[in-house]
Amino acid sequence: MDDTKAKWEVGTGRSLLGLYFLVPGIMKFLAPDMHIALMAHHGIGFAPPLMWFAAIVNVAGGLALISGRHVRLVAFGFVIYILLVNALLHDFWNFDGIEGAHEMQNFIKNLGILAGLLVLAGACKPRAVSLTNWWKPDRAVSAPSV
């Protein structure tokens, strides 16, 4: 396989996945009441602090993916995030009609995003978690010794 082509494809996919999390994170900051109301509608306790936490995670993780920093760690973190969002916010089994169908569609769509994150994590080299060089992109840091 052409290594340059693979790098372009992985980089483009990584950036698009980052954008998928960055934009909703920004939207949470711009319209917090709407997002808190949505969480409350689904019966999520402690909605305000959880919404702010999700906003920060979305923005920071989205930027990390776009800039190519700690990609594997962030991808696995977003896998956990999606599993929680699917179980708590896209609970189609608790709704009927159009709302249930809409939640099921989002649930399945999120499984596709989760699959993309797993592929991305598998395509990226491991990186040691440390305070040294934490700001550098993954390509500028050597993989941890095993």
Residue (of 5, 1, 15, 130) closest to 65 by Cα position: 15
Residue (of 68, 82, 62, 52) closest to 18 by Cα position: 62
Q: Cα separation of 21 and 110, whole Å?
A: 12
Please say whether the beta carbons of 129 and 115 come within 8 A: no
Virtual torsion, Cα 73, 113, 83, 124, nearest 10 deg: -20
Q: List C-alpha distances in Å: 3 to 79, 122, 144.
A: 27, 16, 22
pTM: 0.86
pLDDT of residue 139 exceeding 90, the answer is no
> In which band, very low, low, confident or very high, does the pLDDT at 127 lie, cut at 50, 70 and 90?
confident
Tokens 């996919």 belong to: 13
Angular region, 133: left φ>0, alpha ψ -120 to 50, beta rest: left
Please say whether the beta carbons of 58 and 25 come within 8 A: yes
125-132 mean pLDDT: 77
Q: Where are the domains of the chain?
A: 3-140
- Give the model confidence (pLDDT) of 82-109 as tens digits: 999 999 999 999 999 999 999 999 999 9
Cβ atoms within 10 Å, residue 31: 11
